[in-house]
């Protein structure tokens, strides 16, 4: 009986995972990346993890970016920590364990001659949506209301010119997913019925 129940639970979770609705582990909390690592400019030549969020360049691209401060780089409305992408590459971010999330907000700015930034959300390697926003030179602009819904990876890409850009205050929110509960509760109810029937046969 225990084996049958275990198989049923695994099957239910597998279906939810395929739908992008698997229950979010308690370890996945709302995170705002602020890149506050001191008054310095640090170069990274490979992916890093900050507050449970994986940050890096997509596979096949040059692995390089900076965590620095707006003061050091001459930004007009942000003197504290920022992530600076000073090559014509993309930056991708996700929860380390691939938990789905909502991208609540992000601050974006230019660095060199890029004129816009494209933000693309993915779920299970499928592109969900992509949005483009103009960059205002070295002045940060906050972007909210991105209508991705539930995604598990976001990619930032500078457009035009040298393709460089800066990011700050990137907020990831796992959020509730009511449809997953709607699917999970009937499955758990079915397991209860199976258990009661089994006990009935044993008495």
At 48, which helix (H) or strand (E)? strand 48-50
- Domain assignment of residue 19, given as a range: 1-23+177-203
HSE-up (13 A, CA, CB side) for residue 68: 18
Q: What is the 3 state secondary structure string of 66-125?
A: EEEEHHHHCCCCCCCEEEEECCCCEEEEEECCCCCEEEEEEEEEECCCCCEEEEEEEECC
Same domain (yes/no): 121, 158: yes
Count: domains in the chain: 2
Structure tokens at 17: 């995972």
Same domain (yes/no): 69, 128: yes
**Neighbouring-strand partners of residue 105:** 144, 171
Same domain (yes/no): 7, 35: no
Same domain (yes/no): 32, 16: no
Structure confidence by residue, pLDDT tens digits, 137-177: 999 999 999 999 999 999 999 999 999 999 999 999 996 65
CA 32 to CA 7: how far, in whole Å?
37
pLDDT along the chain (203 residues), means of 10: 49 46 57 94 97 96 97 96 98 96 97 98 98 98 96 98 98 71 50 52 56
């Amino acid at each position: 009986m225990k084996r049958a129940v275990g198989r049923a639970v695994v099957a239910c979770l597998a279906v939810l995972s395929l739908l992008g609705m698997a229950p979010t582990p308690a370890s996945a909390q709302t995170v705002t990346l602020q890149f506050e690592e001191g008054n310095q400019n640090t170069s990274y030549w490979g992916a890093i993890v900050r507050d449970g969020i994986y940050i890096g360049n997509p596979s096949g691209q040059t692995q390089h970016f900076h965590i620095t401060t707006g003061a050091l780089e001459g930004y007009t409305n942000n003197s504290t920590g920022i992530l600076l992408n000073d090559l014509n590459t993309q930056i991708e971010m996700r929860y380390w364990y691939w938990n789905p999330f909502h991208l609540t907000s992000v601050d974006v700015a230019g660095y060199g001659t890029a004129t816009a930034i494209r933000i693309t959300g993915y779920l299970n390697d499928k592109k969900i949506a992509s949005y483009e926003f103009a960059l205002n030179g070295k002045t940060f602009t906050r972007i909210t209301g991105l209508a991705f819904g539930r995604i598990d990876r976001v990619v930032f890409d500078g457009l035009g010119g040298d393709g460089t850009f800066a990011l700050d205050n990137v907020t990831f929110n796992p959020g509730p997913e009511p449809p997953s509960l709607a699917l999970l509760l009937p499955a758990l109810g079915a397991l209860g019925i199976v258990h009661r029937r089994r006990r009935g046969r044993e008495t």
